[in-house]
Amino acid sequence: MSDKYDVIVIGSGPAGYVAAIRAAQLGLKVACIEKWKGKDGKGVNGGTCLNVGCIPSKALLDSSHKFHEANSAFAGHGITTGDINIDVPSMIERKERIVKQMAGGVSGLFKANKVTSLFGTGKLLANRKVSYVNFEGKEQILDAENVILASGSIPVAIPVAPVDEDVIVDSTGALIFQEVPKRLGVIGAGVIGLELSSVWSRLGSKVVLLEAMDTFLAIMDQQIAKEAQKIYKKQHLDIRLGCRVTGTEVVVSKGAKEVVVTYTDKDGNEATETFDKLIVCVGRRPFTDGLLADDSGVKLDERGSIYANDLCSTSAPGVWAIGDVVRGPMLAHKGSEEGVMVAERIAGQKTVMNYDIIPNVIYTHPEIAAVGRTEEQIKADGEPYNVGTFPFMAIGRAVAADESDGMVKIIAHAETDRVLGAHIVGPCAPDLVQQVAIAMEFGSSAEDIGMTVFGHPTFSEAVKEAALAVNGHAIHMPNRKKRK
Ligand code: FAD
Ligand code: NAD
């Protein structure tokens, strides 16, 4: 049996499902194949993001933040409560309800847009044919004018800490703990390490993060990373840099399993720590297992990503690849925008994507958010620049809300004043950075942002003041640079 589609998408994560919907909106006949199975054995759309990534992690971050606020911040507002307890299974159940609702939303959108949703495994064959094997094992060969590969990524595994889904887990296992681990170890102090440590530390875990690099958050602007590191220290996150894990052993002590981790610390000394749970989060890798037939014509690059150019064309004509499975940051919104671009190009439009302006957020409290280049990158590029910073402690709204940790940093070209980057640690950082992202899309200068009227009192006044500070004109703080 053969079926012909204008577009077949393999993978329904935020890259694939957005591509499928946009292509269908443009009048194309679209099918999307997804192999994710729910607990009930039925197919689920939404990929990593909705099922075990962005959405569930944020649900737990929000629950744990409320618990932490109730425990530590309410009293300062004159609010007294009785004993505060956390019912972990209820918190996890709430998260699962949210996941179900959001993943169901994708299926609803497929229906509304007439995308054919196929549950099972897709494999690209030669000449844009796709083998589709459903959950019962029945194969169908589908024909397509265009195939979009959006198979995503999976956690990187390290042999010294093999995941057993019990004591040693990856990010997925860390979203379903049924009780708060008293001692939590985390290998890798990157985005996932910091977000998941925050969840469990707020609920009472004593957390130790073992990070291989000597520099904390090396990809972020280092002034902001250092500011964040100070804040995390106050939150009792024990971040140990320059540590190489050399072994792990799961043992039973007093009837309970625990894991003994041996590592070499930053001075080269051997050390051990014992934890009730250990999360391994040392990065993610592109997932292409079983996706490509030998004669599909699609090439991988040296990192195992599907080779794709800036327009997401692969080495096979009519085959496109988007999201985590191709080069670039592994972020949901990056994949979604690629999905829109590819769908529109298939429909004959000339859409391009601006890879220079992709916001990046770490959802700790406060959050860290960035867009554009860091000061270190701009310096390395040899461009002249000015920096404006503004602390939240000088922002009335932040002081009123007890959210005065952190700062906004804006970097602009020294000659043109065009904004090159914004880096924020502090309240509402993701939403504030988005304001600068919009300004950057329109080629704005720091002066343009500084001249914009901002509502008062708002957290976003810190953006205006940092933009003014670029040229020495901040009002609510003495300026280091004095200019007329
Ligand atoms: P995925 O979401 O990985 O989807 C790929 C889909 O393809 C999967 O459903 C898979 O089952 C399916 N698939 C693979 N092969 C086949 C096949 N052969 N046949 C059929 N189906 C197939 N990003 C953010 O931007 N913000 C965040 O806050 C954020 N938080 C995160 C938190 C965690 C804990 C994790 C793990 C990730 C987080 N991410 C976040 C990253 C984000 O989840 C990914 O960047 C995003 O999901 C990638 O989208 P994608 O569509 O490329 O791939
Ligand atoms: P990451 O790259 O952010 O961090 C991994 C960390 O592990 C790095 O600091 C790295 O130096 C360290 N590391 C690597 N090998 C190690 C080892 N053997 N021992 C100790 N440390 C080691 O990766 P991640 O935190 O696993 O997240 C994966 C990706 O998922 C991210 O890069 C991001 O793209 C995406 N993500 C995004 C968000 C978000 O946008 N808020 C949240 C979660 C995940």
Residue 473 clears pLDDT 50, i.e. is over it: yes
Residue 1 clears pLDDT 60, i.e. is over it: no
Same domain assignment for residues 277 and 292: no
Whether 133 is covered by a domain: the verdict is: yes
The chain-wide mean pLDDT, for the chain, equals 97
Number of H-type helices and E-type strands within the chain: 12, 21
Whether 480 is covered by a domain: the verdict is: no
Residue 306 clears pLDDT 90, i.e. is over it: yes
Residue 209 clears pLDDT 90, i.e. is over it: yes
Same domain assignment for residues 409 and 374: yes
Kindly state if the Cβ of 372 falls inside 6 Å of ligand 1.
no
Whether 274 is covered by a domain: the verdict is: yes
**Interval between CA 324 and ligand 2 midpoint (Å):** 13
Which of 254, 282, 310 lies at the terminal end of a domain, its last residue? Answer: 282
Same domain assignment for residues 132 and 257: no
For residues 126 and 115, give the distance between their C-alpha atoms in angstroms, rounded to a whole number: 24
The pLDDT tens digits of the residues spanning 120-170 come to 999 999 999 999 999 999 999 999 999 999 999 999 999 999 999 999 999
Q: What is the pLDDT of residue 479?
A: 86
Same domain assignment for residues 261 and 292: no
Q: Which of 284, 334, 358, 364 to mutate to test the pocket of ligand 2 (most atoms within 8 A of CB)?
A: 284
For residues 106 and 21, give the distance between their C-alpha atoms in angstroms, rounded to a whole number: 9
Tell me the ligand closest to 174's alpha carbon: 1
DSSP character string of 65-116? HHHHHHHHTGGGGT---S-----HHHHHHHHHHHHHHHHHHHHHHHHHTTPE
Query: Atom 36 (ligand 1): residue with closest C-alpha?
Result: 53
Residues in the chain: 484
Residues with active-site annotation: 456
Same domain assignment for residues 186 and 272: yes
Tell me the ligand closest to 210's alpha carbon: 2
Q: What is the pLDDT of residue 151?
A: 98
CB atoms within 10 A of CB 336: 22
Same domain assignment for residues 87 and 173: no
**In this prediction, what percent of the chain has a pLDDT beyond 70?**
99
Angle, vertex CA 191, rays to CA 14 and CA 158, nearest 5 = 95
Containing 466, the helix (H) or strand (E) segment is helix 461-470
**Interval between CA 450 and ligand 2 midpoint (Å):** 35
The pLDDT tens digits of the residues spanning 412-424 come to 999 999 999 999 9
Same domain assignment for residues 372 and 260: no
Residue 215 clears pLDDT 50, i.e. is over it: yes
CATH of the domain at 308: 3.50.50.60
Same domain assignment for residues 181 and 276: yes
Whether 149 is covered by a domain: the verdict is: yes
Which of 282, 305, 327 lies at the terminal end of a domain, its last residue? Answer: 282
CB atoms within 10 A of CB 179: 11
Kindly state if the Cβ of 10 falls inside 6 Å of ligand 1.
yes
Which of 282, 305, 329 lies at the terminal end of a domain, its last residue? Answer: 282
374 contacts 423 by C-beta, under 8 angstroms:
yes
Q: What is the pLDDT of residue 190?
A: 98
Same domain assignment for residues 342 and 274: no
Q: Which of 9, 151, 172, 288 to mutate to test the pocket of ligand 1 (most atoms within 8 A of CB)?
A: 151
For residues 430 and 420, give the distance between their C-alpha atoms in angstroms, rounded to a whole number: 17
Number of domains into which the chain is organized:
3
Query: Atom 15 (ligand 2): residue with closest C-alpha?
Result: 282
Query: Atom 15 (ligand 1): residue with closest C-alpha?
Result: 151
Same domain assignment for residues 202 and 241: yes
CATH of the domain at 446: 3.30.390.30
**Interval between CA 37 and ligand 1 midpoint (Å):** 14
Segment 249-275 shows an average pLDDT of 97
Same domain assignment for residues 101 and 200: no
Q: What is the pLDDT of residue 58?
A: 98
Whether 476 is covered by a domain: the verdict is: no
**CA distances to 4, 152, 309 from 181, in Å:** 52, 30, 44
Cis preceding linkage at 159, omega within 30: no
Q: Among candidates 191, 380, 405, which has minimal Cα distance to 279?
A: 191
Whether 481 is covered by a domain: the verdict is: no
**CA distances to 8, 45, 162 from 112, in Å:** 17, 15, 43
* Residue 15 domain boundaries: 4-155+285-346
Residue 288 clears pLDDT 70, i.e. is over it: yes
Query: Atom 7 (ligand 1): residue with closest C-alpha?
Result: 11
The pLDDT tens digits of the residues spanning 15-44 come to 999 999 999 999 999 999 999 999 999 999
**CA distances to 128, 179, 477 from 120, in Å:** 18, 34, 59
Q: Look up residue 405 and give its DSSP letter.
A: -
Same domain assignment for residues 398 and 444: yes
Res. 480 pLDDT band, cuts 50 70 90: confident
**Interval between CA 279 and ligand 2 midpoint (Å):** 12
Nearest atom of ligand 2 to the alpha carbon of 190: 4
**CA distances to 360, 416, 419, 455, 484 from 437, in Å:** 11, 18, 9, 19, 27
Whether 97 is covered by a domain: the verdict is: yes
For residues 42 and 151, give the distance between their C-alpha atoms in angstroms, rounded to a whole number: 19
Q: What is the pLDDT of residue 392?
A: 98
List Cβ neighbours of 83 (8 Å cut-off, separation of 6 or more): none
The pLDDT tens digits of the residues spanning 389-405 come to 999 999 999 999 999 99
- Could you give the residue ranges of the DSSP H alpha helices within 353-427? 375-380, 396-400
Kindly state if the Cβ of 124 falls inside 6 Å of ligand 1.
no
Segment 95-119 shows an average pLDDT of 97
Res. 3 pLDDT band, cuts 50 70 90: confident
Whether 269 is covered by a domain: the verdict is: yes
* 0.75 surpassed by pTM: yes
Q: Which of 170, 171, 187, 192 to mutate to test the pocket of ligand 2 (most atoms within 8 A of CB)?
A: 192
The pLDDT tens digits of the residues spanning 331-378 come to 999 999 999 999 999 999 999 999 999 999 999 999 999 999 999 999
